[in-house]
Each structure stands twice: as structure tokens, then as C-alpha cells.
A and B are shown apart, each in its own frame.
Chain A
């Protein structure tokens, strides 16, 4: 396990070095007033830049007259709330659809599900979000069009997670505000989860079909175990490992998707903040935003790698 940690630690350090070097070079080119460096040399300045970052000084937005880290932290909970729900949707529905398809391999259900996931996978996210709004909000009137909560609920930000804050304002509104906030989350979360959901569904299907061919499954079958028990208890655990590995890539897909989704649904998260920063040429915010999102993707990937290694002992020993 120690070797594994060292190996992952090295990868992490290399990624961090590349990333911070890139944002440092960008900061030199963009807005020269981001930080004031004592050193004359490039490497010296880079080290000072790292010091600033570690001290929590991520630059200062001249547009908003605020430290960018403050802005980032203000927007981050909204993004986390959305991403978590989207991931939950993607995993639950992706796995379920994949298992259903594998279970009915070659049948009409399999073909239909795979057709649907292919469509989901190739859907431009912007168009898909608009389509959902058109159907569920404007035609059926079931969901709100945009935003995080109806304005009749005046929920003061405490944790900045709307689901939690709405519960904290329970004295005033009961559970109404909470359900309203949940209703606002549904469409953006579906929009954001569609592509990862399709990928997970397809991965689950193929991985599960691969595992189902294995010897030990045949043994289990010969013992007379039911198909459901074989899939859920014996096959799924092994089939999950490649899915887990691919989920790391999903996080970066979700992070780029979140920028578009937040923009469409006027969702006040990091993605929308970053887009606004680009349109205003607010270099300090752009760099901090990119750095923070990339760090998040790296951290997620690392965590998933460790989890996959934990689940599959073979991955711990490089051959």
C-alpha cells in the first residue's frame, strides 16, 4: 500500500507541477498585476507564486475588487450541489441501464437501451438542456426554468448549499423551500448527467458481459444460482473496477459540462463565474478558476484510482 501511495503521490506531484507552471506562465502573460514578485528569475518567481497559492492568495479580481479565492468559495457550493446530484443520477441510472441491457443481451431491450445511450452520448449538452426546458418547464409546467429557488422564498445563505440552507429556513417556510430547491436542481442535474450516464451504461454492459463469460460465473451457474444473484452478487463487483477507473474521466467531462449547464440554467456556480470572468477579461479569476477546477479533477482521479486499487488487489502490484 505504501508503494502504491508513493506511486500515486509522484503522479500527483508531476500533475500539480505542470498545472501550476502553466497557470503561472499564463499569469505572467495576462494581467501583470496579479502578484508582485521579489525575485528577478523565472524559477524564483514561480516558487513565490506557489507560496502565494499555499497561503490562500490566489490573486485579486480588479473587476470585482475582491480576492478571487473569496469569489471561488462563494460559487463553489452551488457547483458541488449540482455535480453531486448529477453524479448520483449518472451512477444510479447508468448502472441500472447497463445491467438491464447486459441481462437482455441481443434482445430488443438491449438494442433500445444502447440506441438511447448512444443518442444521450452524442447529444450537445446546450441543445439537450434547452429541449428539457421546453418540454418539462414550458410545455408541461412541471419544473422551473432556471435558478436555484423561487424568489418568494427569501433564504439567507448560511452554508451556501441551497438544499441545506432551505432546511435551515424551515421556521419560516416549512419544507416548501426545500422541495422547491430540489425541483430547481432536477433539470440541470439531468442535463449534466446525461453524457456520463450513457458512458457508464455502455461500460457497465460491456464489462458485465465480459465478466459473465468468466469461469467462476459458469461455476456459479452450474451450482444453480439465479441469474439475478449471479449478476448482482458475483459479477457486478468485478465488473465495477473498469467502470470506476473510467469514472475519473467522467469527472473531467462533468466539469466541462458544468460550465455550459450552469450558463444555460443561470446556476450561480463556478462554471458560470468562470464564463463571466472570460467575458470580462478578468484574468485573475480565470486563472484561479482553471487552477481550482483542475485540482478538483486531479483529486477526484486520485481518489478513484485509490478506490479501484483497494477493490482490485491486482492493481496494487505493477507487473
Chain B
């Protein structure tokens, strides 16, 4: 490879093929990675490496006093990409924003049914109910009207599904009668222009010279799709990729030994052990507390996560602004656990089921192993545990039906707002039909998180969340186990890469630093 070509081409070895080139249509992280921050932009985004909201396509915004109207002022001179069939004649305006949301929101919209007509994120967040209307105030101003105050709304708009598409391109496609090209030949405002996708092989992008945030330093970006983690690591080791996604704990250990570059942030996720409080003996809070105390999480962290995680004390990770530092960590204490069980009237112990998820996830690389370790710990306090597992789809549907006793699961946040953890996982509504697998419905807790969602004062919201976490800890519907790290491996000469806690990888500031160009050099 000649050095001048090498300097302008960045190869990212990714873990899978995207399901679509429009983040509105999908909900997988792999698809988001390949689209939302390369081809597209959203109205707002996060400050690099944090979960603080920052302007993106919107220059500024105003929220009405009652919290139901969000008015965004759009940036001037934001250019769209072009391709063989489309040359943009204008810059971004309010029509594009309205088009992007109305396509998902209105079943009468000409593009609503195109490419399957499913918008998983939009509907799962209940945005069809929340967004009443979107008004064009002027070419550069747009207003969202909500049915109720919803303070996480800004954070929701920073999520990939809220990417802004070109309304002008849609018009051209209507004239060509090729509506589905909107999703397969994407046009966005992002730092990279889509060039070619060879299914299951690679995605080729080229830098967008007229990007409003300044042209990227690299000219070509290739996502090399390599699903097998061992092969991905081999490609990285041979220098075929500049950046490797989703390394396994063993790769990180090798990388550390060989002083390779590891980019690591605490992940915005949580792994937990939920007790089904509708089933005895878990209806008794003392039992839940006793079982929580009986588990040696330090050992789990070492054996299951290879120390690429931290012990979770709250459902919300410590990097969140609403994290409650005062909540104390549950201490591993077999004696005290036994005593609590005796107090609850279970001195002779009992038998429970632990449902262990069958697949690997960032938040839990090996639930089966975790369950086996827990089985041994529980035996010490006289509790017998059976481990149960099904095929992933069956597992989730059975857990949703509440057929489980207790379950090992987890959650990856899509946006930086604490409500993204507490509402879907622990609210009363989600206990009835949702992801609240502890089936735990506590009226006070529910009121606290509802108050927090509807308040627009961040200090007040924080206060509600702090109280909610304390109450959660006291009631122990889950044992929170770990927040796993998100990591990437990079070659020594790659600089400027930022990985956000919610997992977005952004390449617009990436360049090659020739001073660090020899891989043999010790760069750490």
C-alpha cells in the first residue's frame, strides 16, 4: 500500500451488515453505526464523549414554559449530498425536518409504507402519541407540538432514528417513481457520502467536501464487514483495519500485553438480575435483599467480564448526570443474607429458577457462566437454583409473559437521558406490557419518574431521580450487576477518534498521524 493512498483511506472493521441505510427503519446498533453519524445528522447531538446535548443541524432551540412546544432554529448553509440521480438545489430547511418526521408519523404520508413501513424506534418510544404536530414557522424555523411535557425529548431527538433526510430528494424520487431509493441510495447532510455497498462485504463512503462541520480529513472511509471476532482481530493485527469494533475481552488482554491502542469508555448499559416480584418468595423484600447480598459480584466481574466492566450500584450508570452517588453498594455478605432469610421465615431455604439469556451482549458476555457462579453462591445460603435457557426469541417472549422466576438480562441505552433506563425497565406501565421483567410496580417510584419526565428543570429532575434510585435500592427488585465498557482497538497512527458512551463512533475528525506511523513503536 502506498503511503499517500494509505493516508486518505480509513478502514473500520465492523461486526455485521446494516439492515438498511436509513436509521428510521431499523433499531440495531450495527445499522445505526453505518448510517446515523456517517451519512446523516440529527437536529441535536451529544458533545463528543459525553451525553450532554449539543447543537447539530439546529443552531438553537426554545422550549415553551409548559414544556409542550419545542422550536428549533436551523443552521444556515447546510448542504445535502448528491448522487447520479439527484443534485440538490437548496440547503437544509424546515421542509426536510418535517418530511423526516412525518414520514414516520403519518400513515397517509406517501413514503410511510415504503421499504416495509416499519419504524421500530419511533413507535416503541410512543412518539406517535407524543408528537401532535410539526409546524413550519419559517424556512429556517420548525416547531414540534407535544401532547404533554416530556423533558427527555431533546435526548430522543439526538437518537439515530431522528436523522434528517432530504425532502427535495424525495420529490425527485417520486417523479422517477423510485421511492425505495430513499432508503437504499441514501442522501444526507453527514460528513461522508454513501458510495457503494456490497452486501455482507463492505460499505464505501467518500468524504463530503461541503460538510457544514468542515470536510473530514480522510478522503475514503470503508466499513469492512467481518462478523467473526477472531478474524476481525486477525485483520486488525495484520494491519488490514485501522479500527476494530467490538473486541472480545481476550483481544483486549492481548492488546494490553502488546501495548496496542485501546479506546475505552464506560458503556451506557446495565446488566441485572431481576426478581419476578409477582412470584413468591420474591414478593418479600427481605428475600430480594438477602439474595442480592449472597452474590459475589467481584468474582463475576473477574470471571465473566475479564474486568472490562464496573460493579453497578444503580440501574443508571455513573456517567449519567442523574446518578445517585449516595446509594450504597450491596455488600457480599453470606452471614447477613442467611440472617435476612431467617427473618423472612425461610431458614430452610427454597428452590428458584434463574433464567440465563442464551446470547452474548455487550452488557453480558456470558449469562450462563454468570448464572452458574450465582448458583454456587446461593447454595451457601441454602437456596437451590436451577438454570433455565431458551432460544433468544422464545426466551424474550416467555420472559415478557412473566413465566420466569428470576432472570439475567440487561439494557443498552439509545440516548443519554436517565429516563431511557428507568421508564422502560421499571415503570408500572412497562410492568404490564414492556421490559419491566421484575414486574415491579411501586406507585411512589412511578410517580417520581413521571414527575422527572414532565419537569423541564434539570435540578428538579435530578432530585426526583436521586429519590427514585434510593427507593429502588431499598426495594431491591433487581440486583444490579455491572456496567460493561465499550471499546475499540485502533492502530497507533489513528488520531481524533471519539467514541460516545451510547456507542456512536464518529469519523469526521479522524486522521492519520504520520509521527506515529510505525506500528512497532511503543506508543503508550
Q: Which chain A residues have a beta carbon within 8 Å of chain B's beta carbons?
A: 62-65, 71, 74-75, 78, 130, 133-134, 137-138, 141, 144-148, 150-152, 154, 156-157, 263-266, 268, 272-273, 276, 280-281
How far, in whole Å, are A144 and B1 apart by their CA atoms in the complex?
A: 12
Interchain CB contact (< 8 A) of B183 among A65, A138, A273 = A65
B1 CB contacts on chain A under 8 angstroms: 150, 152
Q: How far is the CB of A227 from chain B (nearest CB, A)?
A: 46
Q: Are A71 and B199 in contact (CB under 8 A)?
A: yes
The dominant DSSP class at the A interface is loop
12 extra interchain contacts, Cβ-Cβ under 8 A, other than A75-B199, A130-B234, A151-B222?
A62-B116, A64-B199, A65-B183, A74-B199, A137-B234, A146-B234, A147-B202, A148-B201, A152-B5, A263-B227, A266-B231, A268-B225
Q: Are B198 and A268 in contact (CB under 8 A)?
A: yes
Q: How far is the CB of A107 from chain B (nearest CB, A)?
A: 39
Q: How far is the CB of B136 from chain A (nearest CB, A)?
A: 30
> 8 Å CB contacts to A: which residues of B186-221?
196, 198-202, 204, 220
The dominant DSSP class at the B interface is mixed
A62 CB contacts on chain B under 8 angstroms: 116
Q: Does B235 make an interface contact (CB < 8 A)? A: yes
How far, in whole Å, are A65 and B113 apart by their CA atoms in the complex?
A: 12
B198 CB contacts on chain A under 8 angstroms: 74, 157, 268
Chain B residue at minimal CB-CB distance from A273: B200
14 cross-chain CB contacts under 8 A: A64-B199, A75-B200, A147-B226, A150-B1, A151-B11, A152-B5, A152-B6, A263-B227, A263-B228, A266-B224, A266-B226, A266-B228, A268-B199, A276-B17
Q: Does B20 make an interface contact (CB < 8 A)? A: yes
Q: Are B5 and A266 in contact (CB under 8 A)?
A: no
Q: Does B367 make an interface contact (CB < 8 A)? A: no
Which 9 A-B pairs rank lowest in CB-CB distance, beginning with the nearest? A268-B201, A266-B226, A151-B222, A145-B235, A268-B200, A145-B238, A152-B5, A145-B234, A65-B115
A157 CB contacts on chain B under 8 angstroms: 198
A64 CB contacts on chain B under 8 angstroms: 19-20, 199
B115 CB contacts on chain A under 8 angstroms: 65
Chain B residue at minimal CB-CB distance from A153: B5
Q: Are A138 and B180 in contact (CB under 8 A)?
A: no
B2 CB contacts on chain A under 8 angstroms: 152
Q: How far is the CB of B220 from chain A (nearest CB, A)?
A: 8
B17 CB contacts on chain A under 8 angstroms: 276
Q: Does B9 make an interface contact (CB < 8 A)? A: yes
Chain B residue at minimal CB-CB distance from A133: B234
Chain A residue at minimal CB-CB distance from B17: A276
How far, in whole Å, are A151 and B206 apart by their CA atoms in the complex?
A: 13
How far, in whole Å, are A71 and B183 apart by their CA atoms in the complex?
A: 17
Q: Does B250 make an interface contact (CB < 8 A)? A: no
Most buried by A among B2, B200, B237: B200
How far, in whole Å, are A148 and B19 apart by their CA atoms in the complex?
A: 22
Q: Are B200 and A146 in contact (CB under 8 A)?
A: no
Q: How far is the CB of B12 from chain A (nearest CB, A)?
A: 10
Q: Are A146 and B6 in contact (CB under 8 A)?
A: no
Per-position 1/0 for B290-320, Cβ under 8 A of A: 0000000000000000000000000000000
B237 CB contacts on chain A under 8 angstroms: 138
How far, in whole Å, are A145 and B231 apart by their CA atoms in the complex?
A: 8
Per-position 1/0 for B396-409, Cβ under 8 A of A: 00000000000000
Q: How far is the CB of B27 from chain A (nearest CB, A)?
A: 12
Q: Are A137 and B200 in contact (CB under 8 A)?
A: no
How far, in whole Å, are A62 and B393 apart by their CA atoms in the complex?
A: 17
Q: How far is the CB of B396 from chain A (nearest CB, A)?
A: 13
B19 CB contacts on chain A under 8 angstroms: 63-64, 280
Q: Are A65 and B180 in contact (CB under 8 A)?
A: yes
Knowing A64-B19, A130-B230, say if A147 contacts B116 (CB, 8 Å).
no
A276 CB contacts on chain B under 8 angstroms: 16-17, 200, 227
How far, in whole Å, are A74 and B180 apart by their CA atoms in the complex?
A: 19
How far, in whole Å, are A141 and B239 apart by their CA atoms in the complex?
A: 10
Q: Are A264 and B231 in contact (CB under 8 A)?
A: yes
B225 CB contacts on chain A under 8 angstroms: 266, 268
Q: Are A141 and B201 in contact (CB under 8 A)?
A: no
Chain A residue at minimal CB-CB distance from B6: A152
Interchain CB contact (< 8 A) of B240 among A146, A148, A273 = A146
Q: Are B224 and A151 in contact (CB under 8 A)?
A: yes
Most buried by A among B198, B225, B231: B231
Per-position 1/0 for B54-79, Cβ under 8 A of A: 00000000000000000000000000
How far, in whole Å, are A157 and B196 apart by their CA atoms in the complex?
A: 10
Q: How far is the CB of A134 from chain B (nearest CB, A)?
A: 8
How far, in whole Å, are A137 and B2 apart by their CA atoms in the complex?
A: 19
Q: How far is the CB of B218 from chain A (nearest CB, A)?
A: 12
Q: How far is the CB of B111 from chain A (nearest CB, A)?
A: 13
Q: Are A151 and B202 in contact (CB under 8 A)?
A: yes
Chain A residue at minimal CB-CB distance from B359: A279
B240 CB contacts on chain A under 8 angstroms: 144-147
B393 CB contacts on chain A under 8 angstroms: 281
Q: Are B199 and A273 in contact (CB under 8 A)?
A: yes
How far, in whole Å, are A138 and B228 apart by their CA atoms in the complex?
A: 16
Q: How far is the CB of B230 from chain A (nearest CB, A)?
A: 7
Interchain CB contact (< 8 A) of A138 among B116, B196, B234 = B234
Q: How far is the CB of A171 from chain B (nearest CB, A)?
A: 17
A71 CB contacts on chain B under 8 angstroms: 199
Q: How far is the CB of B334 from chain A (nearest CB, A)?
A: 41
Most buried by A among B5, B115, B204, B235: B235
B238 CB contacts on chain A under 8 angstroms: 137-138, 141, 144-145
Interchain CB contact (< 8 A) of A65 among B6, B116, B226, B227 = B116
Q: Are B231 and A265 in contact (CB under 8 A)?
A: yes
Per-position 1/0 for B1-26, Cβ under 8 A of A: 11001100101000011011000000
